[in-house]
Amino acid sequence: MTGWIIYNGTLNIPKINKLVDSLIIEGEKLDIELKKVKNTEIIPTYNNEGKAELLYLKDLESPKFIIFWDKDVLLARHLEKMGFKVFNSSKAIEYCDHKGLMHLELSNSNIQMPRTILSPMIFDYLLNSEGYLVKCFDELGKDVIIKESKGSFGMQVYSIKNKEDFIKKVMDLNKRNIDFIMQENIKSSYGKDIRVNIIGDKVIGAMLRESDKDFRANISQGGKGKLINLTIEQEELALKAHKVLGLDFSGVDLLFGENNKPILCEVNSNLNFLSFEELWGKSFGGEILKYILEECL
């Protein structure tokens, strides 16, 4: 069986390249020929009749399925229009790639999350109503987390401790036309969270991530991980978020609320599972491929 794994052709992040290569190796064990395809090596186009087609920059055999390890949502949706099976779906990737959209889609689903405010749509690039910003700051408890709507590996996340810095950061993001969300700071989860790795409707395993140097626990930010067993409440919350967003595989991040009550932080469609694999001693990528094989039968 032939499949494609599409990744971004303009990024050169070693961990992504390593992850893609690991999936190709696992594919060989399952008699799957996975082809690495940069999103810049296939060109989505529409013919004179409006039919979705591709232009190719290299010879490629038509795939039975596509693993979409990128956030080029329009390309993913184009491939779906052409009839390809895409994992994860373009819609699921779109939800996970924009933190505001993710929280919006998860709302009203009985999913515990930090109190969150979406940034407004503005047209002069300046949210110059100080009353608006003061209201947001006060509502979130005067100790605020600001997250750019598009960001990975714990980057583009800011811990704000006072009103003046809050207004300054928001104005800076406005000037650069960057969408963001504003959240209360879950202090009981400072420097620690849980990454729950899910495939299909099953939790494969979970990793406690802790940092003694930063409010973010991401491994990429210096956090350390160890395998843990989830409580029933933690597992149910992670699975619910995964299912609401329509994911095939995901990494769901949970925070620790008061009395260790689980709180959803975010959901990742393009999860970096290499750190989990090292602790687990098995191939998470191999499990993804086994799931895809069953879905393609």
Peptide bond into 88 cis (omega under 30): yes
The CATH 3.40.50.20 domain(s) of the chain lie at: 2-87
- Residue in this structure with the two tokens 């009981």, named with its chain if needed: 188
Instruction: Tell whether the model's pLDDT for residue 218 goes beyond 70.
Output: no
Question: What pLDDT, on a 0 to 100 scale, did the predictor assign at position 226?
Answer: 94
- Superfamily of domain 95-110+188-296 in CATH is ATP-grasp fold, B domain (3.30.470.20)
Distances (CA, A) of 79 to 86, 124, 291: 7, 36, 20
Count the neighbouring beta carbons within 10 Å of the beta carbon of residue 64: 16
221 in Cβ contact with 275 (< 8 Å): no
Question: What pLDDT, on a 0 to 100 scale, did the predictor assign at position 128?
Answer: 62
- Residue in this structure with the two tokens 């930090």, named with its chain if needed: 114
Token pair belonging to 248: 């095939």
Instruction: Tell whether the model's pLDDT for residue 236 goes beyond 70.
Output: yes
| Cα gap 90→109, rounded to integer Å | 21
Token pair belonging to 296: 């393609």
Minimal CA–CA distance to 4: which of 43, 34, 46, 38? 34
Q: How confident is the model at residue 171 (pLDDT cuts 50, 70, 90)?
A: confident
| Cα gap 179→156, rounded to integer Å | 11
| Cα gap 297→281, rounded to integer Å | 28
Segment (H or E) for 173: helix 163-175
Question: Exposure string (b/e) for 98-107, b if CB count within 10 Å is 16 or more?
Answer: bbbbbbebbe
Per-residue pLDDT reduced to its tens digit, 56-90:
998 999 999 999 999 999 999 999 999 999 999 99
Structural fold of domain 116-185: Dna Ligase; domain 1 (3.30.1490)
| Cα gap 178→100, rounded to integer Å | 12
Per-residue pLDDT reduced to its tens digit, 111-137:
999 999 998 877 765 566 678 888 999
Instruction: Tell whether the model's pLDDT for residue 254 goes beyond 90.
Output: yes
Average pLDDT taken over every residue of the chain: 91
Per-residue pLDDT reduced to its tens digit, 102-111:
999 999 999 9
- The residue that leads in pLDDT, 88 or 153, is 88
Token pair belonging to 293: 């094989």
Structural fold of domain 2-87: Rossmann fold (3.40.50)
The CATH 3.30.470.20 domain(s) of the chain lie at: 95-110+188-296
Strands 192-199 and 202-210 come out as antiparallel
One-letter identity of residue 233: E
The CATH 3.30.1490.20 domain(s) of the chain lie at: 116-185
In the chain, pLDDT over 70 holds for what percent of residues?
A: 94
